[in-house]
Amino acid sequence: MPEPAMRTFATETGVIAYELLETRAPAAAPVVVLLHNFMSTGRAAWGPLLDALTERFRVLLPDLPGHGQSVGRPIGFHHRHIAQQLAALMAHEHVLDAHLAGCSSGGMIAQLLVADGLMQPASLVLVSTTYSTNPATTGQLARLEPARFQAGRRWMEATARLHDPFHYDGYYEDVVLSGFRRLRPETAIDLHLSDLARFALPVCLIHGADDEFFPVAIPQAMAAALPDATLYIIPGQTHGLIFRQPWRVAELMVQFLDAHS
**pLDDT 10s digits, 47-70:** 999 999 999 999 999 999 999 999
In this predicted structure, the answer to whether residue 259 has a pLDDT above a threshold of 50 is: yes
> What's the structural domain count of the chain?
1
Question: Left if phi > 0, otherwise alpha if psi is -120 to 50, otherwise beta: which for 104?
Answer: left
- Please give the single-letter amino acid code of residue 255: Q
Q: Cβ contacts of residue 186 below 8 Å, gap of 6+?
A: none
pLDDT (tens digit per residue) in 93-119: 999 999 999 999 999 999 999 999 999
CB 212 within 8 A of CB 240: no
Picking from 33, 195, 202, 56, the residue whose alpha carbon sits closest to that of residue 123 is 202
1 in any annotated domain: no
Tell me the CATH number at 24. 3.40.50.1820
Residue 204 has pLDDT above 80, yes or no: yes
Q: Examine the pLDDT at 144 and tell me if it is beyond 80.
A: no
Which residue, among 59, 40, 39, has the nearest Cα to 49 in the 3D structure?
59
Cα dist. 29→48, 53, 125 in Å? 20, 11, 18
pLDDT score of 6 more than 80: yes
Report whether pLDDT(145) > 80.
no
Arithmetic mean of pLDDT over the chain: 93
DSSP summary character for residue 132: B
- Does 250 map to a domain? yes
Percent of the chain with pLDDT over 70: 93
Reply yes or no on whether the pLDDT at 152 is more than 60.
Answer: no
Cα separation, 87 vs 114, whole angstroms? 10
Does residue 53 lie within any of the structural domains? yes
Going by C-alpha positions, the residue among 230, 249, 245 that lies closest to residue 52 is: 249
Say what the pLDDT of residue 224 is.
98
Whether the predicted pLDDT of 150 surpasses 80: no
| DSSP element (H, E) containing 133 | none
- For the chain, strand residue ranges (E) read 7-11, 14-21, 31-35, 58-62, 99-103, 124-127, 203-208, 229-234
In the prediction, which pLDDT does 253 show?
98
Question: Domain span at residue 154?
Answer: 7-259
**In this predicted structure, which of 62-66, 139-143, 152-156, 181-185 has the lowest mean pLDDT?**
152-156
Q: Provide mean pLDDT across the span 24-37.
A: 88
Indicate the pLDDT class of residue 42, thresholds 50, 70 and 90: very high
Task: Report pLDDT for 5.
Answer: 75
Binned at pLDDT 50, 70 and 90, residue 1 comes out as very low
> Is 190 a domain residue?
yes
Q: Is residue 234 within 8 Å of 207, Cβ to Cβ?
A: yes
Tell me if 44 is assigned to some domain: yes
Are β-strands 7-11 and 14-21 bridged in parallel, bridged antiparallel, or unpaired? Answer: antiparallel
| Contact yes or no for 14/71 (Cβ under 8 A) | yes
Helix, strand, coil fractions of the chain, as percent rounded to 5? 40, 20, 45
Residue 142: the pLDDT is 66
pLDDT of residue 101: 98
Residue 204 counted as domain residue = yes
Residue 2 resides in a domain: no
Residue 248 in 3-state DSSP?
helix
Report whether pLDDT(3) > 60: no
CA distance 34 to 101: 5
Task: For residue 253, give the H/E element and its range.
Answer: helix 246-259
Residue 240 lies in a domain: yes
